[in-house]
Amino acid sequence: MGCMGNRDRRGATVRKLSGGLVLVLTTLGMGCGGGAQEFAPPVPEGRLEQAALSHNQLSTNGLSFNGLSFNGLSFNGLSQSGLSQAAFASWFSDNPARADEVMRYIVRCAVPEGQTRTYLHAQTNKTYTWPGLLGLAPGWAGGATATVAEQQVVSACLVAHANPFGVSVPLSVQGRDALGQVLASSPEELAEFSRPESCFFGNLFQNQGMYAGSQNPPLNANQSTSRACAVVDGSGTPRRACAPIVYVGSCAAACTLDAATGVSFLRCKVGDVYFQPLTTRVRDADLAVCGDGRCQVTESCGTSNTYNACAADCGACP
């Protein structure tokens, strides 16, 4: 699989033109080497004023890391007092590097912008500080027990940021917070991120699974994207299996459209369980196209013009 070279990168989540969000890809990385890979240029600052424009690099391995109940964190609340619980300390100490990255995403998803959560790891005397941004779970962020809606929308946020290649790609995230407030987005944002992508839902706190559906136009044979977990091609199936995320097919078939926004869904159903989802949109410019002169992490060498045998970008295989 081809590469443009490894570069460590801090992905940014923009809310009112500020913030930052990154989670290092771990065991599922498909790039060439250990660093996160740049896939497309970031959105220029000052151009958009949306509530939830994000870069994604979360691995599904991080999603499933001992679950998201954190041995009682969901009951103690995502507050400083909750982080001081012995059960959280035990969970964090099991793998501090991974826990740090998971917490970075959780706090950014759940806690409002302008707030942080700080944790002192007693064994190493190292202080971790995680800034909030999207504020999807205000009650839980304030120290209350996480409601089912908060569990679901935070889970959806985490799953939406999963990326099997560890590549940072800007996303427009649509939906509602746990209190039912719409994540506002400007007409400019919707125009810039014109390609409807996927819907994500589930409940990691209650071990009810992680799900993804597609609403994007199918990829052509010469197109590819690191957002492959719920992006289909002409076969009607995702380009890549991303266990433990389960692909459910079309978002329209599994979910109820939010008539108030027209770009997101109110709820999605698996079996007899309804979940509150989030929906993503991407830019056409972030699709890799065989023949554009760059051998992307999603492309391979070969003798054709398809994404998995792209001679023009990646050359012939040795």
- Report the pLDDT averaged over residues 254-277: 96
What residues form DSSP beta bridges with 128?
A: 119
pLDDT exceeds 90 at position 289: yes
The pLDDT tens digits of the residues spanning 39-97 come to: 333 333 333 333 445 555 554 444 555 445 555 666 678 888 888 888 888 888 888 88
- Hunting for tokens 């509530």 — which residue is that? 51
For the chain, what percent of residues have pLDDT higher than 70? 76
Give residues with Cβ within 8 angstroms of 97, minimum separation 6.
Answer: none
Which of 296 and 68 is assigned the larger pLDDT?
296
Q: Which helix H or strand E contains 139, and what residues bound it?
A: helix 138-141
Which of 283 and 36 is assigned the larger pLDDT?
283
Question: At 172, is the pLDDT very low, low, confident or very high (cuts 50, 70, 90)?
Answer: confident
Helix and strand element counts for the chain (H, E): 10, 14
Which of 235 and 316 is assigned the larger pLDDT?
316
pLDDT exceeds 80 at position 15: no
pLDDT at 69: 56
- From CA 255, how far away is CA 277, in angstroms rounded? 8
For residue 156 the two structure tokens come to: 């959806």
Burial 60-96 (b: 16+ CB within 10 A, else e): bbbbebeebbbbebbbbbbbeebbebeebbebbeeee
Give residues with Cβ within 8 angstroms of 8, minimum separation 6.
Answer: 35, 36
